[in-house]
Amino acid sequence: MKHSWLHKKDAKKLILFFGGWSCDEQAFKTIPSEDYDVVMLYDYSNLTFPLEVENAMDNYSEVSLLAWSFGVWVAQIALYPLKDRLKNTVAINGTLHPVDRSYGIPTPIALGTLSGLSDKNLKKFHRRMFSNRDDWSRFEAAYPLRAFDEVKNELFLLFEHFKVQKPKHDFYQTAIISKEDLIFSAVNQTNYWQGKAKLIEMQQGHFCFYVFQDWKEIIGLK
């Protein structure tokens, strides 16, 4: 697992942001943060939470988690031992059964993404994350810089992790669900989170971050 500080200015509060598969920090650096330092975790070829970030948590009076897409599953595996140190735990467009007919991405679609993955198809996948053309253009201008082979290997290893690691279903307090999500269907997300977390619906696609003017707005959603 890799990490990158999106904002680090000795704030008193910290957001741990677990991104989605194939992403890096590029598309998220332009989202402002006034009251929080923000560190992004990505590249889930291994699930080891960086010791440097764990130690940095001691410097903050408050630590919150935002996890998106496959990062929702990864975060609860990596951070469950630190659960009591997290004030807010928010899942965004993901579930703890990420490859599943009823609660995640149906298995044939998920495996088809891996088997048919190419540079061209990866770009198509990224485009499907957006319901708004302007947001896609903004993302495309800050496109991830990761190597294709690294991204493909990450997806393969994530699927292997999903097979052997059992999720903890009492981890998240809030689940944000985009009604126009073409990656994780809103129906499947609702099926999973109903009764497990507070549900907040948005009229957005899978990538919903550019609607926010500050990271704290996501934490503050009611």
* Nearest-5° Cα angle at 129, 176 to 93: 20
- Domain ranges, residue 8: 2-219
Question: Whole-prediction pTM value?
Answer: 0.98
| Span 76-98, pLDDT tens digits | 999 999 999 999 999 999 999 99
What's the confidence (pLDDT) of residue 200?
A: 98
CA dihedral 182, 2, 148, 95 (to 10 degrees): -20
Q: How far is CA 212 from CA 7, 24, 217, 220, 222, in A?
A: 16, 19, 6, 11, 14
Cβ proximity of 15 and 215 under 8 Å:
yes
pLDDT digits (tens, 9 = 90+) for 9-22: 999 999 999 999 99
- The total domain count for the chain is 1
pLDDT tens track for 100-129: 999 999 999 999 999 999 999 999 999 999
| CATH for 66 | 3.40.50.1820
pLDDT of residue 100: 97
